[in-house]
A and B are shown apart, each in its own frame.
Chain A
Amino acid sequence: MPDLVLIDRAFQRIMRALVDSGRAPHYAELARALGLTTEEGRGLLRDVMQAYPIGWLHPETDYIASFPPLNNLPTQYRITVRGEQRWFAQCGFEATSATWLFPGDTVRVDAPCLDCGDPVTVEMRDGRITWADPPGVVGHLAFGFGPSRGRPHYL
């Protein structure tokens, strides 16, 4: 049975690495940080992803692709904090959740509109919208939640 305390610690290591550097650690780095063998690290990473199924590994690898609200694989949702654009959000909806990873900071989301390519910008601070350009920015759920909708809901 997986060790829940260890899984919590691993989750925090991954999330903290993403916040601090914009990159998720490899399982070998995770293992070293937690005093485990690399194979134990790989198993632990798989346990974390099973417990956090809104993220995922790149298919047929043990590379973290998505660890929402952030993404290890670049997306069109670029996140800028303190003037540095190091981060990507999993999707436009999760982009609005990134504010909770940077308390006290302004978090800026920049993305191209998928219709026209013109910019969409949202700035938030501690969960509050401080700027949106254009003011009529909307969210759009294309395929619906739930497994019966046929396409990944985050697209």
Chain B
Amino acid sequence: MNLFRSEEHARRWKDFQPRSEEGFITLPDLVGFFGTESRRHMLDGDYLSTWYPRRGAERRAYLEQIGKTSPFWMGTPDPPAA
């Protein structure tokens, strides 16, 4: 999960995986993805018991909102090969 100067820089990265062509995210979308409601409460006394458990659902909802619904992003198994 890295930041690059541009998509072209990422594609030139020695460790770039062809599968990760779908792994790009704009900076504003990334900020939203890692700034969902629960993440704003990390300094609260009940973060771990109250807020952290909500994080997964928030992140899935945000990914759906920005159209990143593939298994690669959602962390779900790949469909069986045809």
> What is the 8 Å Cβ interface bit string for chain B, positions 50-82, against chain A (1 contact, 0 not)?
001000000000000000000111111110000
Q: Chain A residues near B71: list those with CB within 8 A.
A: 144, 146
> What is the 8 Å Cβ interface bit string for chain B, positions 28-53, against chain A (1 contact, 0 not)?
11110111000110110111110010
Residues in chain B within 8 A of chain A (CB atoms):
1-7, 9-10, 12-13, 15-17, 19-20, 23-31, 33-35, 39-40, 42-43, 45-49, 52, 71-78
Q: How many of chain A's residues have a CB under 8 angstroms from any CB in B?
A: 58
Residues in chain A within 8 A of chain B (CB atoms):
4-5, 7-9, 11-12, 15-16, 19, 48, 51-52, 69, 77, 91-97, 99-101, 103, 109, 111, 113-116, 118, 120, 122, 124, 127-129, 132, 134, 136-149, 153-155
Distance, CA A128 to CA B31, complexed state (A): 8
Distance, CA A96 to CA B28, complexed state (A): 10
Contact B48 A52 (CB under 8 A): yes
Known: A94-B34, A129-B31. A140 touches B46 (CB 8 A): no
Contact B1 A154 (CB under 8 A): yes
What DSSP secondary structure best describes chain A's contact surface?
mixed
CB distance from A75 to the nearest CB of B (A): 10
* Contact pick for A139, options B2, B15, B74, B78, CB 8 Å: B2
CB distance from A67 to the nearest CB of B (A): 10
CB distance from B43 to the nearest CB of A (A): 7
